[in-house]
Amino acid sequence: MKQFSPSCERNKESILTVLQEVLPASGVVLEIGSGSGQHAAYFARALPQLEWQPSDVAENLPSIRAWRAEAGLPNLREPLLLDLFAEPWPVTSVQALVCINTVHIVSWPGVEKLFTGAGRLLASGAVMFVYGPYRYSTRPLEPSNEEFDRWLKARDAQSGVRLFEDVNALAHENGLMLAGDRAMPANNRSIWWIKK
Ligand SMILES: C[S@@+](CC[C@H](N)C(=O)[O-])C[C@H]1O[C@@H](n2cnc3c(N)ncnc32)[C@H](O)[C@@H]1O
């Protein structure tokens, strides 16, 4: 039931540092693609002023529930079944959206769903945060991400490390203005936008 992700253990602290800076002082944070549920438990404990709403496709909900049960935190909500492709989404309004290591996993139409959903759900001034590997038209992809991209595509031809400029254009089309893009350990990025 309870899955363990080594990468979550490695990146949770550095992601938390950015979240502490960019998330609002209160409100509900929707996490899309919560995976094991480790990040949800860690962030909810570290950010008690926020309500953490994990979500994922059905197969991951048991692990998220197990991490939630163990954490026993009042601000960590029962995970929602949220498949980017299944509309309507089971939420109508949240104060922030967080999506970690998922943009390179889902197909490009899935990324489009993520950003149209963010544009629909977020009120003016709300933040959308993503974390993961990105390529940039202005510089070569790092060798580690080149290799990761090949691995991803061999597994699923529709996945892959996304071009920042494509993702940012999609965000812009959905009323999200770039607010930050920060280098993170292991050639990852934290990128966030503010809804107009
Ligand atoms: C690499 S995992 C990242 C999980 C977690 N955020 C982390 O950092 O460990 C990618 C996540 O995307 C989720 N995912 C894939 N397709 C999805 C979809 N159509 N809708 C919502 N989530 C999806 C997977 O279930 C998985 O939890």
Q: Would 159 be classed as within a structural domain?
A: yes
SS3 label, residue 8: helix
Instruction: Answer yes or no: is 28 within a domain.
Output: yes
Q: Is residue 63 part of a domain?
A: yes
Q: Would the CB of 85 count as within 6 Å of ligand 1?
A: yes
Report the nearest atom of ligand 1 relative to the CA of 84.
20
Asked whether residue 1 is assigned to any structural domain, the reply reads: no
Ligand 1 close to Cβ of residue 107 (< 6 A):
no
Q: Is the pTM of this model over 0.85?
A: yes
Which residue range is the domain that position 74 belongs to?
6-195
* Inside any domain, residue 182: yes
| CATH number, position 54 | 3.40.50.150
Q: Is the CB of 184 under 6 A from ligand 1?
A: no
Query: pLDDT tens string for the chain (196 positions)?
Result: 999 999 999 999 999 999 999 999 999 999 999 999 999 999 999 999 999 999 999 999 999 999 999 999 999 999 999 999 999 999 988 999 999 999 999 999 999 999 999 999 999 999 999 999 999 999 999 999 999 999 999 999 999 999 999 999 999 999 999 999 999 999 999 999 999 9
Q: Is the CB of 33 under 6 A from ligand 1?
A: yes
Domain total of the chain: 1
C-alpha span between 42 and 16 (Å, rounded):
9
Give the separation between CA 184 and CA 173, rounded to whole angstroms: 26
